[in-house]
Amino acid sequence: MRKFAGSYFGRLTFFILFGFVLFLASNRVDELRVYQGASVAMYVVAIASLILLTGYSGQVSLGHGALMAIGGYAAALSRNHWGAPFWLCFVVAIVATALAGSVLGTAAARLSGPYLAGSTLALAVGLPSIANQFHILGGEQGLLFDIGAPPAALGADFTEYKWLFWISAVAALIAMWWLQNILRSRFGRTWRAVRSNEVAAQLAGIHVGKSKTLAFTVSSGLAGLAGAMLAMTISTVSPSAFPLTLSFAVLTGAVLSGVTTLSGVMIGALILVATPDIADAISSRFASSENVTTNLPGLLVSALLILVVMLVPNGPVEQMRTLRNRKRAKALR
What local confidence, expressed as pLDDT, does residue 113 receive?
67
- Give whole-number Cα distances, 52 to 46, 211, 303, 316, 318, in Å: 10, 12, 25, 18, 15
What local confidence, expressed as pLDDT, does residue 56 receive?
86
Which of 321, 52, 322, 54 minimizes the C-alpha distance to 188? Answer: 52
Does residue 121 form part of some domain?
yes
**Domain count across the chain:** 1
Does residue 131 form part of some domain?
yes
Which of 39, 63, 119, 41 minimizes the C-alpha distance to 247? Answer: 63
Q: How many CB atoms lie within 10 A of CB 216?
A: 28
Whether residue 288 has pLDDT greater than 70: no
Does residue 165 form part of some domain?
yes
What local confidence, expressed as pLDDT, does residue 92 receive?
95
What local confidence, expressed as pLDDT, does residue 5 receive?
40
pLDDT in tens, 103-133: 888 877 776 667 777 778 888 877 777 777 7
Whether residue 172 has pLDDT greater than 60: yes
Whether residue 68 has pLDDT greater than 70: yes
Residues above pLDDT 90, as percent of the chain: 20
Does residue 260 form part of some domain?
no
What local confidence, expressed as pLDDT, does residue 199 receive?
81
What integer is the mean pLDDT of 21-44? 82
Which region among 4-13, 192-201, 207-216, 220-229 has the lowest average model confidence (pLDDT)?
4-13
Which letter does DSSP use for residue 239 in this model?
G
Does residue 291 form part of some domain?
no
Distance CA 199, CA 137 (A): 43
Q: In 79-206, where do the E strands start and end?
A: 143-144
What local confidence, expressed as pLDDT, does residue 4 receive?
42
What local confidence, expressed as pLDDT, does residue 333 receive?
67
144: left (phi over 0), alpha (psi -120 to 50) or beta: beta
Question: Crossing angle for the helix pair 2-26 and 31-50, nearest 10 degrees?
Answer: 150
Does residue 212 form part of some domain?
yes
Does residue 298 form part of some domain?
no
Does residue 275 form part of some domain?
no
What local confidence, expressed as pLDDT, does residue 7 receive?
62
In terms of residue numbers, what domain contains 185?
Answer: 2-243
Number of alpha carbons in the 13 Å side-chain half-sphere of residue 25: 16
pLDDT in tens, 291-317: 666 777 777 777 887 887 777 777 777
Whether residue 6 has pLDDT greater than 50: no
pLDDT-derived band of residue 49, with 50, 70 and 90 as boundaries? Answer: very high
What integer is the mean pLDDT of 54-60? 84
